Structure 1
Amino acid sequence: MSADGPVWGASTDVGTRRASNEDSYVAAEPVFAVADGMGGHEAGEVASAAATRALARLAGKPEVTARDVQERLEAARARLQALPPTLGRSPGTTVAGVVLTEHEGAPHWLVLNLGDSRTYRLQGHVIEQLSVDHSEVQELVDQGHISPEEALRHSRRHVLTRSLGATSSLAVDYLLVPVEQGDRMLVCSDGLTGELDDTVIAGLLRSYPHPQDAADALVAAAVAAGGRDNVTAVVVDAPRDLSA
């Protein structure tokens, strides 16, 4: 990978209705990820922190594979399994992110996803959701029972079919995507996508040259639009020099 590495920024906010922030993130080359905790205040914070701290152990490694990521998430799950039953509801968390890696000698984004936090890629004026929501409403959309527009208002839109927790299986989605010149990646919790649609997100990503300014603007816009949940955004720009 070129020494001219990626540039990134990250921002998070408790929002307007929550007492605490159960989101957590890691932004340390080559790992950029967001976790959105579940299970109540303390349980959610513990779960999301366990996920991002485990992934942060990969920071600075010259090469990271899907197996490396899986091993770190397994370690996070083991930590949750070892917790005493004093937290009440079982702690769990979503995990979404990208790892800048190499595949067959070329730079790639390794996209990882568990739950309904999301990863997007912006190329020019085109935004693409690379992750797939692991939720009941997404399954209904995939089966043709409801439309994407109906999913936004569905009463069970927050019910997940996969997560990282002490009692759940660790069925993580992985996707390798070639890095292209000009890629801007967004990893975010559903506190962002619950308030802003993809068109607004794309517009804000295009409006700010530096990723930190883009991340700050996205989070501020989601809070201003209602901020009904914790909001977190990590924005990563591909290296300018993609030569090996």
Structure 2
Amino acid sequence: MIRVDGVELTWGAASDRGLRRQKNEDSHLADAPLFLVADGMGGHEGGAEASARAIDEFRRLVGLSLNPDAVHEAFARAVRSVDELGIGSFPPGTTLSGAVLCAQAGEPYWVILNVGDSRTYRLYGGALAQISVDHSSVQQLVDSGTISPAEAERHPQRSVITRALGAGSTAMPDYWLLPVAAGERLLVCSDGLTKELAADDIARVLRTELSPQAAATRLVHEALLHGGRDNVTVVVVDVVGAVVDRDDEEDTAGATLPRAGETERDAHGHL
């Protein structure tokens, strides 16, 4: 357990290459105040290098008191680092999702960031909510009302993403600013988890495993038991105590940072 900016945190993480992949192209960071998962694409070495480079640009912020600007600056550095991997018909890239504990107006907040289809969830009061929104072809169909969320989970193009870090994309992530609340649990994961487990199954594990490390380990194990078709990485973070406890309604609403500009050219790749 560690105390950062008036917030007591404990966490756990687990990762596995899965049962069908030769290499784990996922990378993650679980060290206060940063909890991030990156899922590389571009083929073995390229994807692994892209995800590792993205995470490394945030690693230098471990142990520091941060604000939202520092998070966006780290993302900009990550873009440059991944872009240095070179160009080609399909240059390597990576998703990036997670939560960074920051100070905003003197109070602790989570900066949630996401690009691609890795995800960040929040469990509070026994209810699981997906905070991030996938950048994927299937999510666009859901947003337009063409298919339902349930149909999206089985859609053959559910792994085709529309935005990434690198991979020829110059799009920026989405950001959300959420007040910190004692008793909440955050989950950050690659799509190797959500391909295999439904939201209800994920919530059940998060509710029943008391320690975040036990929850992370079990979720990875469950993903393998259900097929393990992809690399799977899970980070679980518990807020044990906070200076200010807010009611559930305010926590869920939070505040949203302005979305960074999105260019016309997005990435289209399979993870």
Q: For the superposition of Structure 1 and Structure 2, which TM-score range results when normalised by the shorter chain?
A: over 0.9
Q: Which stretch has the larger CA shift, 108-117 or 157-166?
A: 157-166
Superposed CA offset, 1:52-88 (max 9, x none): 11111111111232x2122222212212222245x87
The alignment of Structure 1 onto Structure 2 pairs a total of residues equal to 242
Which residue is equivalent to 1:171?
A: 172
In the alignment, which residue of structure 2 is the partner of 1:214?
A: 215
- Establish whether residue 203 from structure 1 lines up as the match of residue 204 from structure 2: yes
Specify the alignment match of 2:67 in structure 1: 64
Q: Is the 8 A contact 1:40 1:89 kept in 2?
A: no
Q: Report what 2:109 is aligned to.
A: 108
Shift of residue 3 of structure 1?
Answer: 5.2
SS in 1 for 2:71: helix
Alignment partners' CA distance in 2, 1:38 and 1:158:
11
From the superposition, tell whether residues 153 and 202 of structure 1 become closer, same or farther in structure 2 (CA, over 3 Å): same
Aligned residue runs from structure 1 range 25-40, under 5 A: 25-40=28-43
User: Contact 2:85/2:92 (CA < 8 Å) preserved in 1?
Assistant: no
Distance 1:180 1:41, change over 3 A: same
Within a 5 Å distance, the mapping from 1:8-19 to structure 2 comes to: 8-19=11-22
Residue type at the aligned position of 1:28:
D
**3-state SS of 1:112 partner:** strand
Are the structure 2 counterparts of residues 105 and 164 from structure 1 closer, same or farther at C-alpha, using a change threshold of 3 Å?
same
1:45 correspondence with 2:48: yes
Deviation at 1:168, TM superposition (A): 1.1
SS of the residue aligned with 1:5?
strand
Change (3 A) 1:112 1:185: same
Relative to structure 2, which stretch is displaced further, 171-180 or 67-76? Answer: 67-76
Q: Secondary structure at the match of 1:240?
A: strand
Unaligned runs of 5+ in 2: 246-271
**Deviation of the 1:206 alpha carbon:** 1.1
**Shift in Å at residue 118 of structure 1?**
0.3
Aligned residue in 2 for 1:186? 187
- Taking structure 2 as the reference length, the TM-score comes to 0.85
Please tell me whether the aligned partners of residues 121 and 131 of structure 2 are also in contact (alpha carbons under 8 angstroms): yes
Choose which of 53, 57, 67 in structure 2 pairs with 1:54.
57
Any idea what the Cα deviations from partners look like across 1:110-164, whole Å, max 9, x if unmatched? 1000000000000121000000000010000010001111111212111111100
CA distance in 1, matches of 2:227, 2:210: 26
RMSD: 1.7
Give me the TM-score of the superposition, normalised by structure 1: 0.94
Greater relative CO (CA pairs within 8 A, separation 6+):
1
Moved more, 219-228 or 165-174: 165-174
Could you tell me how far 1:4 is from its partner in structure 2? 5.5
Asked if residue 83 in structure 1 is aligned to residue 85 in structure 2, the reply is yes
SS of the aligned residue for 2:160 comes to: coil
SS in structure 2 at match of 1:185: strand
Using the aligned pairs only, state the percent identity: 50
Unaligned runs of 5+ in 1: none
Rounded to whole Å, the distance in 2 between the matches of 1:111 and 1:184 is: 14
Residue 154 of structure 1 aligns with which residue? 155
> Is the CA contact (8 Å cut-off) linking 1:2 and 1:243 kept in structure 2?
no
Q: Distance in 1 between matches of 2:79 and 2:242?
A: 37
Hey, what's the Cα distance between the residues in 2 that align with 1:4 and 1:44?
A: 34
